[in-house]
Amino acid sequence: MNCQEIRELSSDYLDRQSAPHQVLLFEEHLQVCSNCREEVETLRTTISLIGSLDEIKTSPDFLSQVHRKIEAGGMLRRLWAWFFEPFRLKVPLEVTALFLMSFTALYLYYRSPEISRESDILAPLEGLKLAREKPLNKALPTRGRIEEGNRTAESETKLLAELKAKASKRKSSLEKVGKAHDKVAALTGKKEAVATKRNLQDAQVKPREESLERSDKDFKRYQMAEAKRPESLKAELSEPMDAEKKSREGMIASVPKPEIYELTVGNVALYERRVGVLLKEVGGSLLSQEGSSESGLLLTVKLPQSRQAEFLASLKEEVSVGFKREFQREGAVGTTSGLEKELQEKNVITAGDRMLPSTSRMVEPTVKLQLRILPKK
Amino acid sequence: MVSLQDPDQELIQRCRSGDQPAFDQLVLKYRNRVMGIATRMLGDRVEAEDLAQDVFVKVYHGLQGFQGEALFSTWLYRIAANSCLNQIRKRKRESQVAVSADDPEPNISDGKSNPHTLLEKKELNSFLEKAIHALPQEQRMVLILRDIEGLSYEEIADSLELELGTVRSRLHRARLEVRASVKEKFDLGVE
């Protein structure tokens, strides 16, 4: 064993921690090496001096101080034990409970109506709707409720006003279109009447739809009547039927053809003057005149519908020869049931008379008639 | 269960049963040892006493969990050592102040020592305390437990949770340091 090893192992040797063979080697070296012997001895002295240091004593009240601290920490200690002991069981449960509580609180917070994000970003219409469904939110302060109610009322009033304006606009536009249609139909040909009719269709006037339904019924009645009509008359009426079909199928309005009354008289010119007088009496007017006194006249007259019966009755009285009535179909507007009924009431026609259903315009209160005045032969 | 070879077995059993006087006896038996460790580690008597009291409070509350896998004294020293080391770390400095003015009276074993020797001894003790306090805390703790408290290498290893080799090396280095300091000023008198 060398001096270095002696220095390293001197504490073990002095503390009797060395193995027996190491002790022998150690002592053999010390016998021959004075330096190592001095090193070991000074170390032994140092250890002895350290060991002889005075014992440091506590103060006399050390024990009472310990008692005091035990008592003071007792409550805290009990609380700690109550909350966290046993640690492995209580801490996970408490953490889980804390998490659930936090989650529930946040969930309720964001779901509450006072701070609902929907109410914050509602558009005015949405707000109006909300106000209708939930008149007042009681959680809001009073001022807020009043303001909200005012805003709701104003919005509703605006909405109603807008709807009314639209309705009146539509009504006036429909009336205009209807008038235009009748004017065009009275003065010109089919094309312009079709255009105005189309406008009417575009406007989607409800009475027009109803009149279409009535027209369907009338058409069916007409078909039944047509089946029973003598052959001689069918040909003359075929054209109006076609026109009516076209009108139904293509929704193209035909120019309403006037009713034709054929009178056979002794003096055509005299009767012509008489028709003029009667027309004036009922407030009508002569629209056109064709033909001659010798061959016969075709007069187109216009008179108020309400005076038509009166006019025809007057004519009947003037005419000694049979009064042949012939109706032609007009466009698919209106119905002739009213006229037929009126004529029956006025005894212009009887129930047994064969009348073809025709339609009359519902818009204008006037009718147009054609009088064919033929000389008696 | 407490070790059968533990001299403090009975007292511990009584403490667990709620016997307050038994705990008091334990405190009285070990208080100065704990005080010595704390004082020499912290370098401040007042702070050391406060820490020593805390150590026994911890012992009081921890007795129910003490399984007896080691001697009670080993367990006690472990608590004391850890408390001291934690306190030092907490302060983040080591006091350069040695033992305070009210040093304990020298333990005079030889009634025939002359005053000059006593004075030298007192001065030597003071110097030794300073030399020990100047050691790194790891070496200091091992030196105190071995050369002042008289624990075995195994007990020190258990208390500080160190390997035996580590205990030996730290102890040896600590002794050499102290010897070097003392030799500078005092004649260690090797014949």
ipTM, 2 dp: 0.83
- In DSSP notation, A169-206 reads HHHHHHHHHHHHHHHHHHHS-HHHHHHHHHHHHHHT-H
pLDDT at A241: 46
Give contacts of B 67-96 with A, CB under 8 A. Answer: none
Find the distance separating the first CA and the last CA of chain A, reported in whole Å: 177
pLDDT at B112: 41
Are B190 and A69 inside 8 Å of each other by CB? no
| Partner residue facing B129 (CB), from A53, A57, A66 | A53
B183 at A interface, C-beta within 8 A: yes
A254, pLDDT greater than 50: no
Choose among A331, A260, A266, A337: nearest CA to A301: A260
For residue A306, give every residue at least 6 positions away whose Cβ sits within 8 Å of its Cβ, in sequence order, or none. A365
User: Å from A93 to nearest chain B CA?
Assistant: 23
For A150-172, how does the pLDDT look when each residue is reduced to its tens digit (9 = 90+)?
566 677 778 778 877 877 877 77
CB atoms within 10 A of CB B43: 22
For A6-50, how does the pLDDT look when each residue is reduced to its tens digit (9 = 90+)?
999 999 999 988 888 889 989 999 999 999 999 999 999 999 999
Mean pLDDT calculated for residue range A321-326: 43
Assigned token pair, B155 = 């007990």
Mean pLDDT calculated for residue range A362-373: 72
Query: How confident is the prediction for chain A on average, in pLDDT?
Result: 71
Residue B13 burial class via C-beta count within 10 angstroms: exposed 0-12, middle 13-18, buried 19 and up:
middle
B131 at A interface, C-beta within 8 A: no
Q: Which residues of B touch A62 (CB under 8 A)?
A: 27, 31, 35, 49, 52-53
For A179-199, how does the pLDDT look when each residue is reduced to its tens digit (9 = 90+)?
766 776 666 555 555 555 555
Are A56 and B39 inside 8 Å of each other by CB? yes
Least confident of A131-135, A177-181, A228-232: A131-135
Assigned token pair, A284 = 């009508």
Q: Which residues of A touch B43 (CB under 8 A)?
A: none
pLDDT at A358: 44
How many beta-carbon pairs under 8 angstroms link A with B? 104
Residue A240 confidence class, pLDDT cut points 50, 70, 90: very low
Mean pLDDT calculated for residue range A215-235: 61
pLDDT at B162: 93
Are B53 and A50 inside 8 Å of each other by CB? no
CA nearest to B171 within chain A: A11
- In DSSP notation, B150-167 reads ---HHHHHHHHT--HHHH
pLDDT in tens, chain B (191 residues): 444 578 888 888 888 888 889 999 999 999 999 999 999 999 999 999 999 999 999 999 888 888 777 889 999 999 999 999 999 888 865 455 544 444 444 444 444 444 447 677 788 888 899 999 999 999 999 999 999 999 999 999 999 999 999 999 999 999 999 999 988 777 766 54
User: Å from A98 to nearest chain B CA?
Assistant: 29
CA nearest to B51 within chain A: A66
Q: At what angle do helices B115-133 and B20-42 cross, to 10 degrees?
A: 80
Residue A251 confidence class, pLDDT cut points 50, 70, 90: very low
Q: Which residues of B touch A35 (CB under 8 A)?
A: none
